[in-house]
Amino acid sequence: MAKHLMNDFKAVTAKEWRQKIQVDLKGVDYESLITHTLEGIDIKPFYHQEDTTNNISVATPNQWHITERLTVKDLESTIEQISYSLSKGTEAIWLIIESESTNLVELLKSIDIKKTPIYIEFQFLKPKYIIAFAEFLKGKKHQIRIGIDIIGNLAATGNWYHSLKDDHEALDYIFKHIEIPVELSINTNIYQNAGANTIQQLSYALAHTNEYLNHNSEALKNKKIIFKVAVGSNYFFEIAKIKALRNLYTTLANAYQLPEKIEILAFPTNRNKTIYDYNVNMLRTTTECMSAILGGADFICNNAYDKIFHKENEFGSRIARNQLLILKNESYFDKVSNPADGAYYIENLTQQLSEKALELFKSIEKGGGFLVQLKEGTIQRKIKESAQKEQEEFNERKTILVGTNRYENAEDKMKNELEISPFLEKKERKTLLPPIIQRRLAESLEQSRLKQE
């Protein structure tokens, strides 16, 4: 009988590994290898099976879709863009509809809606418009999803579309009268782009969702929920974040006896993108998309490397799409399901993020819930505090953005390259509550450099 090779090797405990590391350090303290994060999670120099006592197993999709985002302005040009994009390898389309004057039916006639997943995001709330569009789809096989997030709009703008009562009534009306799978869209990207840490992002996403479930969980029994997730540059944390999001939603869904399945639409954050040495943005978006894939997102939409300072252009879109095509077809990132399973570090991170986010979520609920804390300004204040800590680390060069606050190219000139403003612009308007401000880390430094050109 053949002897198993591994029987010749003695199992090594975590304690023995640590002792070996301490010896190899030759007097340097082992604690010096531990990294302390803004989330309050300490990263150890190694992880062992003993660190995953409460294994978290979450189902991830068998495949992910290369997705392209298009803002519909001119119908004819958008139809051409969609056709071109699909011919070049795009697998799903994310349409942003800015105006109810858009002839959405005419637009969709140009797409094979049986084969192409389409996510439609409305930047207005008009039930009659949405229901009229749904009539066109009756009896047709399609993969169309409609995302609506009235609370996300409140958080980002400080106002409801109409009012709390009218917005909820409109949403309930749409759920009641529409047969296609309207998906509640939870825009968690707001929190990431504003500087919330990973635990805050997860807990706010959960509390944000819970407001809808508290209001009308019955209406969501046959609906799907799609989470829009901005992915940052902390590679392993972002993988664990997406896994933890699925795990946390499972806990919430079980409490309401709802289906556990969700969809995740992931895309790179804007927070760490820069106008100087802008080609580095391609490296940032590549690793961020990799985190989204390994974490188990259903749809990956890459951002163009020049998105923050150039108008939408064919070259930037092509590069963004090709990055995903390389990851899928040349790096084989679509060949394995649950690729991060069994990685002790990621499993430990997923466990810690889930536990800490759940604890924060419970404290939000004890404080009256997400909407109450949003109206009181508590959520905004907490995010601002977290963002300020991150900003200080950037200013002190503890957080590095290559080409911007380290290894700057003095010859790099950008003043004449800005087609759109890359900076936060204040707009004076009356709001019900302070909006959550989304701002990039490098803005102040970039403005100083531009003045010196």
Reported as a single tens digit per residue, the pLDDT across 74-117 is 999 999 999 999 999 999 999 999 999 999 999 999 999 999 99
pLDDT, tens only, 416-432: 999 999 998 877 889 99
What are the angstrom distances between the C-alpha of 242 and each of 237, 245, 334, 434? Answer: 9, 5, 17, 28
The number of CA neighbours under 13 Å toward the Cβ of 159 is 7
Which range has the worst mean pLDDT, 34-43, 130-139, 244-253, 346-355?
130-139
Question: What is the model's pLDDT at position 244?
Answer: 96
Q: Cβ(247)–Cβ(58) under 8 Å?
A: yes
pLDDT, tens only, 279-292: 999 999 999 999 99
Torsion angle of the four alpha carbons 176, 180, 181, 183, in this order, in degrees rounded to the nearest 10: -70
Q: Token pair of 412, please? A: 């790099």
CATH superfamily of the domain spanning 65-347:
Methylmalonyl-CoA mutase (3.20.20.240)
Using the structure block, give the residue that is written with the tokens 């959960």.
206
Express as a percent the part of the chain with pLDDT over 70: 97
Rounded to an integer, what distance in angstroms lies between the CA atom of residue 175 and that of residue 1? 64
- Taking the model in full, what pTM does it have? 0.94
The backbone region for 150, taken as left when phi is positive above 0, alpha when psi lies in -120 to 50, beta otherwise, is alpha
Helix axes 198-216, 150-157, angle to 10 degrees: 130
DSSP category for residue 312: -
DSSP 3-state of 249:
helix
In this predicted model, which residue has the larger pLDDT, 1 or 32? 32
Rg (C-alpha) for the chain, rounded Å, is 23
Give me the sign of the Cα torsion angle 402, 408, 414, 415: positive
DSSP 3-state of 68:
strand
| Domain extents in the chain | 65-347
Q: Cβ(276)–Cβ(404) under 8 Å?
A: yes
Identity of residue 22: Q
DSSP output for 167-220: HHHHHHHHHHH--S-EEEEEETHHHHHHT--HHHHHHHHHHHHHHHHHHHSGGG
Question: What is the model's pLDDT at position 2?
Answer: 60
* 133, containing H or E segment: helix 127-137
Rounded to an integer, what distance in angstroms lies between the CA atom of residue 58 and that of residue 65? 19
Q: Cβ(382)–Cβ(203) under 8 Å?
A: no
pLDDT, tens only, 199-255: 999 999 999 999 999 998 888 887 889 999 999 999 999 999 999 999 999 999 999
What are the angstrom distances between the C-alpha of 51 and each of 42, 81, 168, 343? Answer: 13, 49, 44, 11
Q: Token pair of 323, please? A: 């990055």
Q: CA 179: distance to chain centroid?
A: 28
